[in-house]
């Protein structure tokens, strides 16, 4: 049932918007700068988008920061990206916590280096009890990889007698995925003109709407975020309410 703002009750539990942040490399190339320069500019936009969420009625935001396929990039670029993730966590942890953000990481942590893992775990611990905005960062994430890891965990649970194969339903699957109790995305936004979903939230996005925009990620900001939400009738208008 829609209310006057056009948002149904299900969505009012808190809108979930997921981003495929693409185009950093091309943005840097257009400026004759190395690719990491584009990633740095992209990280600033990520911060702006997260900050805008509460005002826009977005309770959950998920960011595709590094895919399982991104290991194919040059050693130099991977090193720069990992350094940027460490730097961004160090620099923003305090403010994110103060803003009431709960930060989680999804993806396979196995190949990530200890220094980065420590920072991720610290940030998750620090923000564990926050509930104003839920920020999920997909790092070494692939949708198929996530489903495979969940399947292996379920197989182990069957072997241990903890669950019966006949009892495995969508709820069981959901529980074993990295996203656990995070609701499915309502909208997935991909920047930079590619109309692909690139192995992002494969199970969770079954019913999501998709927006593909030509804007490169370092040029995407608060205003365009609001415009896209309006396009889908998803922007919460706060008629003097909370």
Our CB check for ligand FPP shows the closer of 26 and 97 to be 26
| 3-class secondary structure, 139 | strand
43 touches ligand FPP (CB under 6 A): yes
State in Å, rounded, how far the first CA of the chain is from the last one.
Answer: 20
Is 22 considered catalytic here? yes
Q: Binding to ligand FPP (CB under 6 A): which residues in 87-116? A: 88
| 3-class secondary structure, 134 | strand
Our CB check for ligand FPP shows the closer of 42 and 236 to be 42
The side-by-side arrangement of strands in the sheet containing 101-106 is: 101-106, 133-141, 58-67, 15-20, 187-190, 209-212
137 touches ligand FPP (CB under 6 A): yes
Using the contact rule CB under 6 A, the part of the chain among 84-92, 124-132, 160-168, 173-181 near ligand FPP is: 84-92
Biggest CA–CA distance in the chain, Å, is 58
213 touches ligand FPP (CB under 6 A): no
Q: Considering CB under 6 A, how many residues would be counted as binding ligand FPP?
A: 19
Q: Which residue has the tokens 């690719």?
A: 35
Report CA-CA distances (Å) from 234 to 17, 19, 91, 145, 161: 10, 15, 31, 30, 43
24 touches ligand FPP (CB under 6 A): yes
Nearest approach in angstroms of CB 27 to ligand FPP is 7
List interacting residues with ligand FPP (CB under 6 A). 21-26, 39, 42-43, 46, 63, 65, 70, 84-85, 88, 137, 192, 217
């Amino acid at each position: 049932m829609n209310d006057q703002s056009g948002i149904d009750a299900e969505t009012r539990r808190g809108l979930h918007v997921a981003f495929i942040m693409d185009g950093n490399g091309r943005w840097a190339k257009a400026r004759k700068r190395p690719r990491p320069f584009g990633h740095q500019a992209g990280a600033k936009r990520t911060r702006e988008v997260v900050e805008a969420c509460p005002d826009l009625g977005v309770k959950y935001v998920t960011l595709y920061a590094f895919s399982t396929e991104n290991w194919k990039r040059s050693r130099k670029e991977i090193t720069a990206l990992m350094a940027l993730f460490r730097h961004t966590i160090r620099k923003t942890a305090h403010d994110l916590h103060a803003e009431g953000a709960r930060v989680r990481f999804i993806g396979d942590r196995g190949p990530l280096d200890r220094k980065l893992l420590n920072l991720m775990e610290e940030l998750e611990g620090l923000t564990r009890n926050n509930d104003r905005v839920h920020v999920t960062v997909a790092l070494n994430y692939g949708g198929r990889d996530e489903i495979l890891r969940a399947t292996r965990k379920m197989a182990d649970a069957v072997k241990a007698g903890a669950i019966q194969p006949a009892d495995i339903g969508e709820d069981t699957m959901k529980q074993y995925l990295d996203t656990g109790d995070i609701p499915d995305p309502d909208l997935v936004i991909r920047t930079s003109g590619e109309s692909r979903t690139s192995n992002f939230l494969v199970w969770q996005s079954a019913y999501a709407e998709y927006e593909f925009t030509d804007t490169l990620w370092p040029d995407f900001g608060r205003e365009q975020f609001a415009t896209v939400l309006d396009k889908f009738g998803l922007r919460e208008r706060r008629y003097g309410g909370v």
